[in-house]
């Protein structure tokens, strides 16, 4: 999420005793149609938009009048901890294009800008979110709600993913849906309310297609370019660099790229190792050893030509496509994922993503 740092705010700010003329110069200079009034300590006193200035002049104000007469002293602000989705909600509800970021001491620390939150440079890449699973491991939690629509911090997991993609410049999203698909379709519609175009890949709830099978449904769709596809599981609470994984895919000339995340797990038992020369003898006993390695984070970039290799009408794991490419000696890249990541496939993982444990 973009928010200009405090050191970058000078071109957006004016003092409390500035004139309307100075506010106009500031607004014209920063091209964001806003000036932020701050005191000598950097505390936000209010905002002045180009509309505020225009209305004041039409009402007879002079360019040399104090800007204090037109300052909005109660602007909508957000704290530095506000996430992209929450800021977008506020902007839409209040019909705002900018929202100042204010610290607990009242100091101005940034400015959220709508077009940057929505991704200022649209990407040609289409994204596929796999959201057709039943989520049976979550028990009663998914008896009436699709797993991907379970809320985390008051927002469905799937909506978080869509908004994250849109904020990274993705404008075409395909949702693979099956179990309780109508709930997802009713929520997202054609995607226009979320800043993108959404199409649906429909799989039968009785015959789920796994993590790779839905890609076959995409093969016959008319995609206007041959840009790599971004594919991700629909049960992730993740803030990842879309540009980062796409750049790695391009730089390595790979046919597939897999996001990998460091993972560590302590085995809760003593682990025995038997003697290689005599299976009746013990050679080692490690008490609660810790395993560390890199695991699949459920995010992929795929060259569109691989869609034709996905079998139709059967459950097919996307990892089989990875192995097929490796067996042929094709390049499969690994992209290191270090940002926030939660897989909410099990109750305790959902609780952790919600901050309950």
Q: How much is the pLDDT for 231?
A: 98
129 with 208, same domain? yes
The pTM (predicted TM-score) of the whole model is: 0.72
Q: How much is the pLDDT for 6?
A: 39
Structural domain includes residue 1:
no
Is the pLDDT at 296 greater than 60? The verdict is: yes
111 with 258, same domain? no
How many Å apart are CA 49 and CA 38, to the nearest integer? Answer: 15
How many Å apart are CA 252 and CA 247, to the nearest integer? Answer: 9
Give the residue numbers spanning the domain of 138: 123-353
How many Å apart are CA 252 and CA 335, to the nearest integer? Answer: 10
Please give the DSSP secondary-structure letter assigned to residue 225. S
32 with 153, same domain? no
Is the pLDDT at 262 greater than 80? The verdict is: yes
Domain count, the chain: 2
With bands split at pLDDT 50, 70 and 90, how would you rate the model's confidence at 129?
very high
Q: Give 32 or 294, the one with higher predicted confidence.
A: 294
Is the pLDDT at 100 greater than 60? The verdict is: yes
Helices 20-30 & 50-58 angle (0-180, nearest 10): 140
Is the pLDDT at 343 greater than 90? The verdict is: no
With bands split at pLDDT 50, 70 and 90, how would you rate the model's confidence at 120?
low
**b/e per residue, 286-322, with b = 16+ CB within 10 A?**
eeeeeeeeeebbbbbbbbbebbeebeeeeebebebbb
103 with 150, same domain? no
Beta bridge partners of 175: 129, 200
Q: How much is the pLDDT for 2?
A: 43
How many Å apart are CA 92 and CA 48, to the nearest integer? Answer: 20
35 with 151, same domain? no
52 with 179, same domain? no
Residue 228 and residue 245 in contact, taking contact as beta carbons nearer than 8 Å: no
> Token pair of 126, please?
């289409």
Domain boundary among 87, 117, 147: 117
């Amino acid at each position: 999420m973009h928010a200009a740092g405090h050191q970058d705010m000078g071109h957006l700010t004016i003092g409390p005793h500035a004139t309307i003329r100075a506010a106009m110069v500031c607004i014209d200079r920063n091209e964001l149609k806003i000036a932020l009034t701050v005191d000598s300590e950097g505390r936000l006193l209010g905002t002045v938009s180009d509309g505020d200035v225009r209305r004041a002049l039409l009402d007879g104000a002079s360019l040399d009048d104090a800007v204090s007469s037109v300052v909005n002293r109660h602007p909508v602000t957000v704290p530095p901890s506000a996430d992209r989705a929450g800021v977008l909600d506020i902007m839409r509800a209040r019909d705002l294009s900018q929202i100042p970021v204010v610290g607990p001491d009242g100091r101005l620390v940034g400015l959220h800008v709508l077009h940057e939150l929505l991704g200022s440079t649209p990407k040609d890449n289409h994204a596929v979110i796999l959201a057709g699973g039943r989520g049976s491991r979550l028990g009663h939690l998914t008896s009436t709600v699709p797993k991907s629509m379970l809320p985390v911090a008051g927002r469905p997991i799937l909506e978080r993913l869509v908004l994250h993609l849109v904020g990274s410049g993705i404008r075409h999203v395909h949702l693979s849906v099956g179990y309780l698909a109508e709930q997802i379709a009713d929520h997202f519609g054609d995607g226009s309310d979320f800043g993108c175009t959404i199409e649906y890949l429909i799989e039968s709830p009785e015959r789920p297609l796994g993590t790779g099978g839905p890609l076959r449904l995409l093969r016959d769709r008319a995609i206007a370019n041959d840009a790599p596809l971004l594919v991700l599981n629909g049960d992730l609470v993740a803030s990842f660099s879309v540009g980062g994984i796409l750049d790695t895919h391009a730089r390595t000339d790979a046919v597939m790229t897999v996001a990998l995340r460091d993972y560590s797990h302590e085995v809760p038992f003593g682990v025995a190792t038997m003697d290689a020369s005599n299976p009746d003898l013990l050679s080692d006993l490690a008490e609660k050893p810790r395993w560390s390695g890199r695991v699949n984070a459920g995010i992929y970039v795929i060259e569109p030509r691989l869609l034709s290799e996905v079998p139709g009408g059967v459950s097919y794991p996307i990892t089989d496509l990875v192995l097929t490419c490796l067996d042929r000696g094709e390049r499969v890249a690994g992209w290191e994922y270090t940002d926030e990541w939660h897989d909410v496939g099990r109750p305790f993982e959902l609780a952790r993503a919600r901050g309950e444990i």
